[in-house]
Amino acid sequence: MTLWLYLHFKHLQLDSLALSDNPDPVVIVDGHSNRVVQLCKLAKQSGITVGMGLASAASLSERLQVIAYDEQAEEVRLQEVTQWLYLVTADISLFPPNGILLKVSNMLSLYQGLSAYWHHIQTHLSHLGLDYHYATGYSAQAARLLAKGGTDIITDDASLLQSSMNDFNLSQTDLSERICEQLRRVRITKLSQLLCIPVSELAKRFEIELVHYVGQLQGQLKYPLIFYVPEEQFSRHLTLLFELENLQWLTKPITKLLEQLELFLQQRNKLAQQVSLMLQLRDAEPVSIQVGSTVGESRAHTWLSLLELKLSNMSLDAPIQAITLSAEYLVDNQCVNNDLFQIQQDKSARPTLIAKLQAKLGKRSVQGVEIDSDHRPERAFHFVEPLHAHTQPVRIKGLQRPSMLLPKVAPLQEKVTIYFGPERICTGWWDNQAVTRDYYIARSELGKWLWIFKEPSQQWFVQGVFC
């Protein structure tokens, strides 16, 4: 029979709130029933218990912080935990909002025994700082039942598992209230009593739902499971405990997410080329910012410095409530060997520099250039993103060209002396931008070297300056 391990996270939402330096007690309250569902240690010390009404909880502690229970947030967090666990174990199935089922049998030959396997899982999970109950079982349902009941048992001894299950009340199982009531009428209140009855007998007297449940609990019937497949993209959401008005205070939460990104990328041996940060604001449209690095980057501090540069140019209309960090365009990590001793210019520093400049100044302020095969000076090249140039037109020797062009051709309005020319450029008849120009090099009276041209209409213009 297959052995399963179920992990039940008691207060997943609370654990994800990053409460380590929060001096006030925090409780999470279900919005529908108005009852406390999760509470921190401080709240427990002040006498609050799970299931207590909000009013009585508030009366027990004056500094109580109340947060609404968010099932969606728990599910997202559960996904992250699964992703983390996937690094050490293969078959994982999710039980939203707060349970994870692991298939143990397949992993035993790798870890050589259940205790070693469990040790690995435990140390791996300890990085996340979550509180959870656990139990093994020879069926998914059995493991789930034991874990939810807080049994905390790790064994492959079937009889021991069976005996620890016997003490459970029927109300602790997943059976519906109606079936429990029916069973209570025939004086069946404990699970042990129910399991004594053969399944065929049960089928005669009770509904099929009960038969299914008992069959699944004992491993006679299969429980339908969908196994987890890891995602290809990185995206993490973090709800801030306080609304932030100062962008500089964002550094800490962003660092937390970036460290997760770094780990995500390292484990896949990938680099991210673009990271986008979404800031959710109070009563305003969310703001999204992107920073990029052309070769890709995985280190958290590099991304942080880029994001900080970008944030330093921004101003917000409303306080930030939550942030989402996602990485796009993942590429494989290719290692480059650099010289250890010589601090010299190297090409690998280029993308980092460009990413930094673009983050602060904007993409349009930092440009590279692409050369075109055209004789018209204004069409002989165009600006592109740095490091994106590919063409290699044939180089022409002996051209007389200025080093600086005027942004716009201007009429000649000063006295000049011509020293060189003419050089005729007559082209472009095929694309309706025809030019017929005679170019000269001239010197103005102030000593400025100009590149001027004459059109067939005998008008003179300045196009460039020999800086």
Partner 1 sequence: MSKIIDLLQHRQWVWQGSSQAHQLPERVSTGISLLDIKLQGGLPKRGMVEVQADNGIGELQIWLPYLQQHQHLIVFINPPGCVNAHHFYHLGFDHKQLMFINTNAEVDALWAAEQCLKSSACSVVLLWQSALSIAQAKRLQLASEQGGCTLFLYRPKCVQQFSLPVALCLQLTGHSHGIAVQIKKQRGGWPQKSFMLSLADYWPQLVAEQGEASNVTVFPTPIRYAK
Dihedral angle over CA of 408, 414, 419, 421, nearest 10: 40
The two structure tokens encoding residue 463: 């196009």
Question: Can you tell me the distance from the alpha carbon of 450 to that of 442, in angstroms, rounded to the nearest whole number?
Answer: 5
Total residues at interface with partner 1 (CB under 8 A): 66
Q: Which stretch binds partner 1 (CB under 8 A): 16-24, 129-137, 199-207, 455-463?
A: 455-463
Question: Can you tell me the distance from the alpha carbon of 227 to that of 4, in angstroms, rounded to the nearest whole number?
Answer: 13
Q: Which stretch binds partner 1 (CB under 8 A): 1-9, 180-188, 271-279, 446-454?
A: 446-454
Return the residue of 369, 424, 431, 455 that touches partner 1, per CB under 8 A: 369
Question: Can you tell me the distance from the alpha carbon of 417 to that of 219, in angstroms, rounded to the nearest whole number?
Answer: 101
Q: Are strands 26-29 and 65-68 parallel, antiparallel or unpaired?
A: parallel
39: β partners: 27
Contact pattern from residue 313 through residue 352 relative to partner 1, giving x for each residue in contact according to CB under 8 A and a dash for the rest: ------------------------------xxxxx-xx-x
Taking the complex as a whole, how short is the minimal distance between the CB of residue 436 and partner 1, in angstroms? 18
Q: Which stretch binds partner 1 (CB under 8 A): 120-128, 154-162, 280-288, 442-450?
A: 442-450
Of the two residues 13 and 273, which places its CB atom closer to partner 1 in the complex?
273
Q: Which residue has the tokens 């939550």?
A: 322
Question: Can you tell me the distance from the alpha carbon of 137 to that of 168, in angstroms, rounded to the nearest whole number?
Answer: 14
Residue 398 is given by DSSP the state: T
Of the two residues 217 and 354, which places its CB atom closer to partner 1 in the complex?
354
Residue 432 touches partner 1, criterion: CB under 8 A: no
Return the residue of 386, 437, 439, 453 that touches partner 1, per CB under 8 A: 386
- Of the chain, the end-to-end C-alpha distance in Å amounts to 84
Q: Give the C-alpha distances (Å, rounded to integers) separating 33 from 39, 40, 51, 148, 203.
A: 16, 19, 9, 21, 36
Residue 70 touches partner 1, criterion: CB under 8 A: no
Taking the complex as a whole, how short is the minimal distance between the CB of residue 420 and partner 1, in angstroms? 4
Taking the complex as a whole, how short is the minimal distance between the CB of residue 404 and partner 1, in angstroms? 4
Question: Can you tell me the distance from the alpha carbon of 56 to that of 28, in angstroms, rounded to the nearest whole number?
Answer: 14
- Pick the closest to residue 217 from 166, 161, 163, 143 (CA basis): 143
Q: Give the C-alpha distances (Å, rounded to integers) separating 441 from 251, 398, 449.
A: 56, 14, 7
Q: Are 213 and 175 in contact (CB under 8 A)?
A: yes
Q: Which stretch binds partner 1 (CB under 8 A): 107-115, 167-175, 241-249, 378-386?
A: 378-386
Return the residue of 127, 407, 432, 456 that touches partner 1, per CB under 8 A: 407
Taking the complex as a whole, how short is the minimal distance between the CB of residue 247 and partner 1, in angstroms? 18
Q: Which stretch binds partner 1 (CB under 8 A): 54-62, 76-84, 157-165, 413-421?
A: 413-421
Of the two residues 51 and 422, which places its CB atom closer to partner 1 in the complex?
422
Return the residue of 396, 430, 432, 456 that touches partner 1, per CB under 8 A: 396
Taking the complex as a whole, how short is the minimal distance between the CB of residue 349 and partner 1, in angstroms? 4
The two structure tokens encoding residue 242: 């306080």
- Pick the closest to residue 288 from 265, 266, 314 (CA basis): 314
Taking the complex as a whole, how short is the minimal distance between the CB of residue 448 and partner 1, in angstroms? 3
Q: Are 461 and 410 in contact (CB under 8 A)?
A: yes
The two structure tokens encoding residue 239: 């709800």
Return the residue of 10, 212, 256, 356 that touches partner 1, per CB under 8 A: 356
Question: Can you tell me the distance from the alpha carbon of 291 to that of 297, in angstroms, rounded to the nearest whole number?
Answer: 11
Q: Are 265 and 330 in contact (CB under 8 A)?
A: yes
Of the two residues 219 and 377, which places its CB atom closer to partner 1 in the complex?
377
Residue 87 touches partner 1, criterion: CB under 8 A: no
Taking the complex as a whole, how short is the minimal distance between the CB of residue 23 and partner 1, in angstroms? 40
Residue 137 touches partner 1, criterion: CB under 8 A: no
Return the residue of 104, 165, 240, 450 that touches partner 1, per CB under 8 A: 450
Residue 253 touches partner 1, criterion: CB under 8 A: no
The two structure tokens encoding residue 269: 């041996």
Q: Given the rule CB under 8 A, which residues bind partner 1?
A: 343-347, 349-350, 352-354, 356-357, 360-361, 365-371, 377, 380-381, 383, 386-387, 389, 393, 395-397, 399-407, 411-420, 441, 443-444, 446-450, 458-460, 464-467
